[in-house]
Amino acid sequence: MTFENFDRRRVNLPLEEQKNLEWAFNEARRFAEAPKDWIVFLGFNGCGKTHLAAAIGNYQLQKGRPVFFKVVPDLLDYLRATFSPDSTVTYDEYFDKVRNAPLLILDDFGEQASTPWAQEKLYQVINYRYNAQLPTVITTCLALEDIETRIGSRLADNSMSSNVNIMAPDYRSDFAPSEEGKQQARRLRRRR
């Protein structure tokens, strides 16, 4: 997932959505050039949030800069796993690595099980990076008001965080088979 293979026009979309997508792409590019503060991608499933977040990460890697990309539910699993006696890394080491990553990308925020422990850990990461003003990319399917208030209000603070609301519908459905295609597939199956 790179900027090069992101279709920022999606010609089949209404003009307003095309313009919005181009704007989202430009915001991601701008952030990738010089990561500063936070960028939060919001929108429905499949609109391109992870793609743009990963493109930012890949751009950084190309430039030889470090990136820490984690899907939030996986991040919490890793963190829990550090408590196991055979873990090679301690909880403190891992938590510190996440909190202090020069660029942290948190994908699928809000998809995690909301246990009090998980909520607390995420709040600690977010609050730490907010206070230290560390560059962070977040993607979420949730509206900010549906995220726990302590976290949601930090994500919504526009002195720190650019909110990029993507209006485009699911990209995956652009490739859903047409009625004609489905009929052809049925005919082929019958012949076999």
Exposure on the CB side of residue 109, measured as CA atoms within 13 A: 31
Q: Which span (4-12, 23-31, 50-58, 143-151) binds Mg ion, by CB under 5 A?
A: 50-58
Closest distance between ligand ATP and the C-beta of residue 85, in Å? 34
Give the DSSP H/E element, type plus range, for residue 20: helix 15-33
Give the shortest CB-68-to-ligand ATP separation in angstroms: 18
Nearer to Mg ion, 45 or 124 (CB): 45
Looking at the Cβ atoms of 43 and 135, the one nearer to ligand ATP is 43
| Residue 50 is a binding residue for Mg ion (CB under 5 A) | yes
Rounded to whole angstroms, the Cα distance separating 24 from 40 reads: 10
By beta-carbon proximity to Mg ion, the closer residue of 94 and 171 is: 171
At its nearest, how many Å lie between ligand ATP and the CB of residue 26? 13
Site residues for ligand ATP per CB under 6 A: 1, 6-7, 10, 43, 45-51, 108, 139, 141, 171-172
